[in-house]
Chains A and B, each alone.
Chain A
Amino acid sequence: MGPDLETAAHTQGLRRVAIDPLSRVEGHGKVTILLDADDHVQQVRLHIVEFRGFEKFIEGRPYWEVPVMVQRLCGICPVSHHLAACKALDLVVGAAPVTPAADKIRRLMHYGQVMQSHALHFFHLASPDLLFGFDSDVNRRNIVGVAARYPDIAKKGVLLRKFGQEVIRATAGKRVHGTGSVPGGMNKHVSLADRAVLFAEVGQMLAWAQDAVDIAKQLHAQNPALYDSFGNVPANMLSLVRADGALELYDGVLRARDAAAGRIIVDGVSAQDYLGLIEEEVKPWSYMKFPYLRSLGPQTGWYRVGPLARVQNCDFIPSPLAEAQRREFIDWGRGQSIHAALACHWARMIELLHAMEVIAALLADPDIVAGELLASGSRRQVGIGVIEAPRGTLIHHYAVGDDDLVKSCNLIVATTHNNQVVNEAVRSVARRYLDGRAITEGLLNHIEVAIRAYDPCLSCATHALGQMPLDVALVDAQGGVIDRVERNTKDPP
């Protein structure tokens, strides 16, 4: 087995296993594993198709259309694209900063988006793996105890998600295709009726968010050997933080820590200077680029974004319940940074709790129902907006001509930032669980569990019936298919 598994020393005579979540448009991912005659893993690669095509789609459009159009990038976090575009275009229209009312309503929208996305991920994607087991019988027995204590987990997931969607509707104006945020600010306040309805639910949602952190924490406590080692990939960490080092998901400065000691490498970098901080490497076997920190170079400069990075990159969380949970999480690492894939879930639930605390505070703020909504100033040609989307740092960069048309567009999404770290997590799991063993569907599910921890976005806002999200093919050295398993979300006949 090669030390890094990215490229086998010799590919001749190796068998190929492909885990192939297919869709018939550009959004798809695939894992390929090359095995030798003794079932030893020689090469593992996660291929995710980049969606650079969307940037060309944007170019030539009037800038004011962009915040609505970019919501069609992703059906799961359209609000993140909506707000990142608006933040970039605020600069183009000279409205930086926006008014306090606009800032707070946008924050409410954003934290509603983060909360509902995290709830959907944990309760409906990850929890079947985590609660009902992908490992040993001992593991299953422990996990059943957690499931028995939280029998209504699916209901809580639906209602937390629904609450977040209602926050978005109250701020963006509509459940989908929201238009609430515009370059320069907002075009509406939160209505008193909407605020009252949402406020009535806050206590319950906070309690469920606290429950969610407790579940994630218990899962780690019940099986630390698994949770501390599965997909454990030391990586540098990148995220926005507030100027004082606090966790900040809407706006801030860029900070990076190193993989080994968690030492701060760079701090206080303006979002406008992101091109001086990171660079993207092209590899011949992948459509998606591999970003890295310029100061460290491509070999060691790759990094993780998202909840696991954010919760450790900040100095504190500026809300009391989540900060108490962050301290427990940091203590779990006993002085070391935490890099295990399943810890993403724990960190994600800490952020969910923080998001609910922020939502509760903003709903009580009088600025969301009154005050100036739009700002203006001197026109500029370039705008860069950076936001912490549910899966990590999201960068929108536009150049706009005097004719108001977008001249160029650059988007870097969380999944691109995480490209190398998810590849490394998949290799770590393959090395530990698949090497030297006959490949079974259960073992391949371990690969999927590692991918699910990061929930990569596959330019996914198209989901026509008939797509086949998973195709596992075992191919012999001569290229013949000797076994195949398909999973299809097409409804049974």
Chain B
Amino acid sequence: MSPHRTAVAPVLVFGWGNPSRGDDALGSMFVEQLLALLEAAPQGGVEVLTDYQLQVEHALDLAGRQRVLFVDASVDAAPPFEARVLQPAADAVVMTHALSPAALLHVFRQFHDREPPPCTLLAIRGSVFDLGAAPSDAALANLALALAWGQRWLAAPPGVVTE
């Protein structure tokens, strides 16, 4: 639908979070820093996207991808981060305000009547989520390690999730 979208890059990196809430910004900061690295050392076939949160229309962003990396802050991932393969699963939700990555894959399956591309979740441990707070030092250290992992993930052949 967008007139600006032409060819679909085979790899998508999607980070989300609220930049006004401390460590919740980790997902979008990951994307910003990865984009800077990609601009400094161009690597074809990679698209990066960011948003406040996941919503149903993001299922359309997964179409045509060979693999996808989701990146978000986490309150219970083991520090500095955890990475794991995602499987589609419906959420049990009370409000419209949130959608989990697994639920997004479920929407993809409903929409396209086929399985989504291989998706990996990178959950970066955060601890400070107060309104107006800056990202914590611990979270920024976790982000640096996660970014290094993300670069290795991009360079690895499809199917390799972590090391």
Chain A interface residues (CB < 8 Å from chain B): 21, 24-26, 29, 53-54, 57, 69, 72, 74-76, 78, 117, 120-121, 124-125, 154-155, 157-158, 161-163, 165-166, 169, 175-176, 193-194, 197, 201, 448, 451-452, 455-458, 460-467, 469-470, 487, 489-493
Chain B interface residues (CB < 8 Å from chain A): 1-3, 16-21, 23-24, 50-57, 59-60, 72-77, 84, 86-87, 89, 91-98, 100-103, 107, 110-111, 121, 123, 126, 129-132
| 19 interchain pairs, CB-CB under 8 A | A21-B94, A57-B20, A76-B55, A158-B56, A161-B57, A162-B60, A169-B2, A457-B95, A458-B97, A462-B129, A463-B54, A466-B123, A469-B95, A469-B98, A489-B98, A490-B100, A491-B84, A491-B89, A492-B89
Residues in B neighbouring A469, C-beta threshold 8 A: 92-95, 98
Please tell me if the beta carbons of A452 and B100 are within 8 angstroms of each other in the complex.
no
Please tell me if the beta carbons of B1 and A197 are within 8 angstroms of each other in the complex.
yes
- Of A193, A194, A458, which contacts B95 at CB under 8 A? A458
Please tell me if the beta carbons of A466 and B96 are within 8 angstroms of each other in the complex.
no
Please tell me if the beta carbons of A452 and B3 are within 8 angstroms of each other in the complex.
no
Closest-by-CB residue of B relative to A461 is B18
Closest-by-CB residue of A relative to B20 is A72
Measured in the bound complex, the distance between the Cα atoms of B51 and A25 in whole Å is: 19
- Of A72, A448, A487, which contacts B18 at CB under 8 A? A72
A156 to chain B, nearest CB (A): 10
Please tell me if the beta carbons of A57 and B91 are within 8 angstroms of each other in the complex.
no
Number of A-B contacts (CB under 8 A): 164
Please tell me if the beta carbons of A456 and B1 are within 8 angstroms of each other in the complex.
no
Residues in A neighbouring B100, C-beta threshold 8 A: 465, 489-491
B114 to chain A, nearest CB (A): 13
Report the 3 A-B pairs with minimum CB-CB distance, sorted nearest first.
Answer: A75-B52, A466-B76, A460-B97
* Given known A154-B111, A158-B111, contact A69–B20 (CB-CB < 8 A): yes
Please tell me if the beta carbons of B97 and A465 are within 8 angstroms of each other in the complex.
no
Known contacts A25-B129, A462-B17; can you find 20 more A-B pairs with CB under 8 A? Answer: A74-B97, A75-B52, A75-B97, A124-B56, A125-B95, A158-B57, A158-B59, A158-B111, A452-B94, A461-B21, A463-B17, A463-B53, A464-B24, A464-B74, A465-B73, A465-B123, A467-B75, A467-B98, A490-B100, A492-B87
B143 to chain A, nearest CB (A): 13
Please tell me if the beta carbons of A162 and B110 are within 8 angstroms of each other in the complex.
no
Residues in B neighbouring A197, C-beta threshold 8 A: 1-3
- Of A125, A155, A166, A467, which contacts B1 at CB under 8 A? A166
Residues in B neighbouring A165, C-beta threshold 8 A: 57
Residues in B neighbouring A176, C-beta threshold 8 A: 50-52
* Given known A72-B52, A452-B95, A455-B96, contact A154–B107 (CB-CB < 8 A): yes
Residues in A neighbouring B107, C-beta threshold 8 A: 124, 154, 158
Measured in the bound complex, the distance between the Cα atoms of B91 and A29 in whole Å is: 18
Q: Which of the listed residues B16, B53, B72 has the most CB atoms from chain A within 10 Å of its own CB?
A: B53
Residues in A neighbouring B59, C-beta threshold 8 A: 158
A359 to chain B, nearest CB (A): 14
Closest-by-CB residue of B relative to A449 is B94
Measured in the bound complex, the distance between the Cα atoms of B49 and A110 in whole Å is: 24
Residues in B neighbouring A466, C-beta threshold 8 A: 74-77, 123
Please tell me if the beta carbons of A465 and B2 are within 8 angstroms of each other in the complex.
no
A160 to chain B, nearest CB (A): 9
Closest-by-CB residue of A relative to B110 is A154
* Given known A121-B96, A197-B3, A469-B98, contact A155–B110 (CB-CB < 8 A): yes
Please tell me if the beta carbons of B131 and A53 are within 8 angstroms of each other in the complex.
yes
Please tell me if the beta carbons of A457 and B74 are within 8 angstroms of each other in the complex.
no
Measured in the bound complex, the distance between the Cα atoms of B103 and A154 in whole Å is: 13
* Given known A197-B2, A458-B95, contact A157–B74 (CB-CB < 8 A): no
Residues in A neighbouring B95, C-beta threshold 8 A: 21, 125, 452, 455-458, 460, 469
Closest-by-CB residue of B relative to A486 is B92
Residues in B neighbouring A26, C-beta threshold 8 A: 131
Measured in the bound complex, the distance between the Cα atoms of B16 and A26 in whole Å is: 19
* Given known A461-B52, A464-B75, A466-B77, contact A162–B94 (CB-CB < 8 A): no
Please tell me if the beta carbons of B74 and A465 are within 8 angstroms of each other in the complex.
yes
Measured in the bound complex, the distance between the Cα atoms of B123 and A134 in whole Å is: 34
Residues in A neighbouring B101, C-beta threshold 8 A: 491
Please tell me if the beta carbons of A461 and B53 are within 8 angstroms of each other in the complex.
yes
B107 to chain A, nearest CB (A): 7
A197 to chain B, nearest CB (A): 5
Residues in A neighbouring B52, C-beta threshold 8 A: 72, 75, 78, 176, 461
Residues in B neighbouring A155, C-beta threshold 8 A: 110-111
- Of A53, A54, A448, A489, which contacts B103 at CB under 8 A? A489
Closest-by-CB residue of A relative to B51 is A176
Closest-by-CB residue of A relative to B86 is A491
Residues in B neighbouring A124, C-beta threshold 8 A: 56, 96, 107
- Of B19, B72, B89, which contacts A72 at CB under 8 A? B19
Please tell me if the beta carbons of A464 and B17 are within 8 angstroms of each other in the complex.
yes
Please tell me if the beta carbons of A489 and B93 are within 8 angstroms of each other in the complex.
yes
* Given known A489-B98, A491-B121, contact A161–B55 (CB-CB < 8 A): yes
